[in-house]
Amino acid sequence: MSLELINVSKRVGVDQHIYPTDLKLDPGCINILLGTTLSGKTTLMQMMAGLDPLTTGSLRFNGQDVTKTAVQKRNVSMVYQQFINYPSFSVFENIASPLRVARVAENEIKRRVGEMAELMKLSAMLDRRPSELSGGQQQRTAMARALVKDADLVLLDEPLANLDFKLREELRDELPRLFADRNCVVVYATTEPVEALLFGGKTATLNEGRVTQFGDTGSIYRAPTDLISAKVFSEPPMNEAAVTKAGETMTLDDGTSWTASGTAASLGDGQYTLGLRPHHVVPAQTGRQPVKVKGVVQVAELSGSESMIHFMLATHSWVSQSHGIHPVEVGEMEEFYADVAEAFYFDASGQRITG
Amino acid sequence: MGKIENQKAWFFVLPVLFLVAFNALIPLMTVVNYSVQETFGDNTFFWAGLMWFEEVLLSERFHASLMRQMIFTFSILAIEIPLGVAIALTMPRKGPWVPVCLVLMALPLLIPWNVVGAMWNIFALPDIGLLGRTLNAIGFDYNFTRQPGDAWFTMILMDVWHWTSLVVLLAYAGLVSIPDAYYQAAKIDGAKPFAIFRYIQLPKMKRVLTIAVLLRFMDSFMIYTEPFVLTGGGPGNSTTLLSIDLVKIALGQFDLGPAAAMSLIYFLIILAMSWVFYTVMMRNEAK
Amino acid sequence: MAKITLKGLRHSYMPNPSKPADYALQELNVDWEDGGAYALLGPSGCGKTTLLNIISGLLTPSHGEILFDDEDVTRMQPDERHIAQVFQFPVVYDTMTVYDNLAFPLRNRGVPEPEVDKRVREIADMIDLTETLQNRAAGLTADGKQKISLGRGLVRSDVNVIMFDEPLTVIDPHLKWQLRSKLKELHQRVKTTMIYVTHDQTEALTFADKVVVMKDGQVVQIGTPVELFERPQHTFVGHFIGSPGMNVLPCEVRGGQAFFEGEPVATWNAVHAKEGAKLEVGVRPEFVSFSEKGLAVEITKVSDAGRFQIVDTRKGGRSIKLLVPDGAEIPEKHAHVSFKTDHTQVYSDGWLVTGGE
């Protein structure tokens, strides 16, 4: 089973919502669409579902062209950010509704709803109405309804975004297990890099209607092909600065310099953009090639287990993220160590140079 | 948003098309047909061009009834809208009294139009009606069947009694949809009651008020039953509104041509003025 | 600006509360210093919004009093208390421009126009709205509107406290981060007392100097982010704060030594534990590590969080999570883990066991 997008694009009037995209999504792991709000995640999903017609290109399911097939015939289910349930139905009837539409036998319905409720920890509240449930339970009901009918394609559009922090953590843990042994293609849209990482699977980074990179989640995080993909997959935002290479010396635009090694050593002379994730800029001298940088502290966020210090490196706003508590004075010049061995280098067109 | 390319969808629209055709288009075409022809009552018709339109537009009688119609409509709008808003503002937003108030408010709307007319006719009669007698008893020379001013007063009072409720209900719906946070924020910002009305309640009621003004405008411009039952258009022609005049021409005198032309003019006036109202009130909304 | 004292505060929405469960807010005594940044943190329905409304004056408490700088304000109206509040859903005056929105609280108080202009421009600059001053407020994005709400509080020079009720709820995720640090930056600049209500631990911990953790109408712990992280007074705090939360394992204590699944676990406070209560041992994933000896566990799942890995292990049907640096070796299936003694503690009926008992 697989879903293939071939040269798929979407244009509304003069606005290009989705640029031509090729993707091949397989079952067995969660396929994540990662991007900010309005990056095109929802549009792409609706096109996959058949809710939104394609401007160009075609969709293949198991090698068969389904571009013109109506949604009702595609065996798709979808979960939205808002908790969408039938308000006048009990939880049981909500979960059973797709099976009733499919005219499944009554005892079969009982069995499958029972199983699904067990899995979703809803067994105790099958008789309640959605309005009597907490947000997490409502969303679990919506998910149970999406999963009970054995859809070939399950689309989840930021399903955890409206939940309390701790509930989100819990469901994040449960979700990959739910899909582990199902033979269906799962697509999950999120704005949060950490969520993508924790789910593992595969990730497509989206930016302004373009899929910038697609592959194993971990490898995209650790080896972005370009500046935009790296930025999409970084929270807090990636630190950036202009860097010049001359001979063996790398010089940042604030004057900081060091001797090139590793990837940097293989670069030709010239100007590049350096990208460094905030956890590689820390107050202590650790890492493979720590280079001292200085900046005036703008904000200090100390969360008990972690310190996030925002400082100005010349004209760039940088963030240092480190374990433990590192008290600093706002407005003072402080020293940090940037582990340049972890840095990414991008050329003028934004492509990463891997050496 | 995405269009679903599905030819079957047209079948769902068909019933509505039929309804619109029967309800509006076909009768309207009949009217258009009559408005450009002349007949002498023996089922033979002659082409008359725009003669009837010219006649109606130039007639003193039409001007007079149109003027009366305008005065009536703008008077009741000027009274009902502020009054409706004022009543809605005093109604409780939550608690056990809400349903009571709503039912009380809705009551006048449930009474059939001709009953309203008949009721007010009797109520206002100077000799036996409660209103008429009371007014005379406290020293007013009140007789709506004889004095045009009194007839107008009664007609407007009746309309206000009957229809202010609609404005109240609409305005109330707008008011209760304002989240508490707005009132709380205004309290914190030190806003006085008038400022709360001006900057929170009024802007949030704007949409429903637009609908209220439009509905009341159209309804009152086409009003027939109530004033006809109340005054019959009199004394003299003093309360002969457009619709009453139209019926007099069409059925009383059986002048089908002028009546048809007048109907069309009447229809176009309502259409044009509704459009003007809507555009003016929604002007700032677009930004 | 003001110091805030809550004395014997309790609230019930019922007319005649009798038992503790009738109270939406259990008795509470707090001192908040002038100019501090505080957070009320807890899950939905924990009473944090009730407390916020009591402080702002939208709700009068059934018992107790609220003092602003030793002045009793318990029965005062919100506008008499000189407070400002930013709500969950942005409140702006739609028909006004951004400028008029910011000027509104000052004009209501009869401040002369030149002074209004000066303050509005100063604050607009602070919250990055100078460019949009003449735009209609209704046209702004959610984060812009929240900034206006905040700005209406900041323009007033007499504000005792600014309160935030889950202010980032409707903000786009990628902008949340920016607005959050903007709030922190503003606090560090203006030094007005600020109280921030949220269910999101990251928001609370990064914003506040001191966090009040609430559960079921009860304050469970008041402390600095560091205290909440290192010495959770209750297993709920341990679980609720930190991601993933604290590992909580049932244990027994014999002769001042804690045992989990029959194996000894070194803790710093087991000597004070008394028998008879439900005893648990708590340790954060940050303070668990793989070791040569220690508890034998089975590894069930490894999640990659980018900067580190979350390893889920099991022993005796209980889950023990630990954090491992990115790139570190992780054993195949069976491993031993050990806990940092000074961050491993015993809880009795949910509460931290201390020597004072």
> Is the CB of C243 less than 8 angstroms away from the CB of A323?
no
* Min Cα separation B286/chain A (Å): 20
Per-residue pLDDT band for C356 (boundaries 50, 70, 90) equals low
User: What is the domain extent for residue C278?
Assistant: 244-352
- Cα–Cα distance, C13 to C61 (Å, whole number): 9
- Looking at the structure, tell me whether residues C46 and C106 fall in a common domain: yes
Q: Let me know: does C38 contact C31? Beta carbons within 8 Å.
A: no
Q: How many angstroms separate the Cα of C151 from the Cα of each of A203, B69, C72?
A: 39, 51, 27
Residues A107 and A201 in one domain: yes
Residue A352 lies in a domain: no
- All residues of chain A having their beta carbon less than 8 Å from the beta carbon of residue B6 are 70
Read off the pLDDT of each residue in A174-178 and give the average, rounded to a whole number: 82
* A351 within some domain: no
ipTM of the complex: 0.84
Per-residue confidence (pLDDT) for residue C296, from 0 to 100: 92
Q: Is the pLDDT of residue C4 over 80?
A: yes
Same domain, C195 and C149: yes
Which of C235, C252, C275 is the last residue before a domain boundary? C235
Does residue C187 share a domain with residue C303? no
Q: Over the stretch B203-219, which tens digit does the pLDDT of each residue have?
A: 888 888 888 988 898 88
Q: Following DSSP, what letter does each residue of A67-129 receive, concatenated?
A: TTS-GGGS-EEEE-SS----TTS-HHHHHHHHHHHTT--HHHHHHHHHHHHHHTT-GGGTTS-
With cut-offs at 50, 70 and 90, classify the pLDDT of residue B16.
Answer: confident
pLDDT of residue B3: 45
pLDDT tens per residue, range B222-258: 888 778 777 777 787 888 887 887 777 777 676 777 7
- Amino acid present at B242: L
- What's the domain range around A268? 239-346
CB contact under 8 A, C304 and A191: no
Do B89 and B168 form a contact (C-beta atoms < 8 A)?
Answer: no
Tell whether A158 and A91 lie within a shared domain: yes
Provide the shortest C-alpha distance from residue B2 to chain A (in Å): 5
pLDDT band at B23 (very low <50, low <70, confident <90, very high): confident
Put simply, the answer to whether B185 touches C104 (Cβ < 8 Å) is: no
A190 lies in the same domain as A247:
no
C 34-73 residues with CB < 8 A to B: 56, 58
pLDDT in tens, A81-100: 888 888 889 999 999 998 98
Among chain B residues, the shortest Cα distance to C158 is held by B189
Tell me, what's the pLDDT at B276? 87
Could you report the per-residue pLDDT of C178-236, keeping only the tens digit for each? 888 888 888 888 888 999 999 888 889 888 989 999 998 889 999 999 899 999 999 99
Asked if the Cβ–Cβ distance from C184 to A299 is below 8 Å, we say: yes
The CATH number linked to C303 is 2.40.50.140
Cα dihedral value C145, C146, C150, C151, nearest 10: -20
Residue B8 touches partner A, C-beta closer than 8 Å: no
Confirm if C4 and C51 have CB atoms less than 8 A apart. Answer: no
Q: Compute the CA torsion angle B210, B214, B217, B218 (nearest 10 deg).
A: -170
Instruction: Identify which of C219, C223, C243, C233 has the alpha carbon closest to the alpha carbon of residue C350.
Output: C233
A222 and A271 assigned to the same domain: no
- pLDDT confidence band for A347 (50 / 70 / 90): very high
Q: Could you tell me if A3 and A153 are in contact, meaning their C-beta atoms sit under 8 angstroms apart?
A: yes
Q: Do A52 and B2 touch (CB under 8 A)?
A: yes
Nearest to C185 among A161, A298, A305 (CB): A298
**Domain termination residue (choose one: C235, C255, C271):** C235
Is the same domain home to C201 and C280?
Answer: no
Q: How far is A237 from chain C (nearest CA, A)?
A: 9
Of C84, C89, C109, the CB nearest to B179: C89
* Whether residue A180 sits in one domain with residue A316: no
Tell me the β-bridge partners of C31. Answer: C5
C325 prior amide bond cis, ω within 30: no
C-beta of residue A19 within 8 angstroms of C-beta of residue A209? yes
Looking at the fold, whether C265 and C229 belong to one and the same domain comes out as no
The answer as to whether C157 is a domain residue is yes
Q: Chain B interface, mutation test: which of A47, A52, A73, most B Cβ atoms within 10 Å?
A: A52
Q: pLDDT band at A309, cuts 50/70/90? A: very high
| CATH numeric code, B60-282 | 1.10.3720.10
Whether the per-residue pLDDT at B5 is higher than 90: the answer is no
We report the CATH number of the domain holding residue A190 as: 3.40.50.300
- Domain count of the fold of chain A: 2
Q: Å from C155 to nearest chain B CA?
A: 11
Question: In terms of DSSP H, where are the helices of C62-162?
Answer: 98-108, 113-126, 142-154
In a domain, C158, yes or no: yes
Rounded mean pLDDT, C249-259:
90
Q: What is the pLDDT of residue C246?
A: 94
Subunits in contact with chain A (3 or more CB pairs closer than 8 Å): B, C
- CATH classification at residue C33: 3.40.50.300
Cα separations in angstroms, A89 against A72, A125, A146: 22, 12, 16
Structure confidence at residue A1 as a pLDDT band (50, 70, 90):
confident
The residue of chain B nearest to residue A71, with distances taken between CA atoms, is B4
Residue A15 above 50 pLDDT? yes
**pLDDT at residue C117 greater than cutoff 90:** yes
CA distance A281 to A275: 11
Q: Mean pLDDT throughout B279-284? A: 74
Q: pLDDT tier at C357 (50, 70, 90 boundaries)?
A: very low
Please, is B55 exposed, middle or buried when counting C-beta atoms within 10 Å of its C-beta (0-12, 13-18, 19+)?
middle
The answer to whether the Cβ–Cβ distance between B190 and C77 falls below 8 Å is no
Query: How many residue pairs from chains A and B have C-beta atoms closer than 8 A?
Result: 8
**First and final CA of chain A: distance in angstroms?**
37
Distance from CA of B213 to the nearest CA of C (A): 20
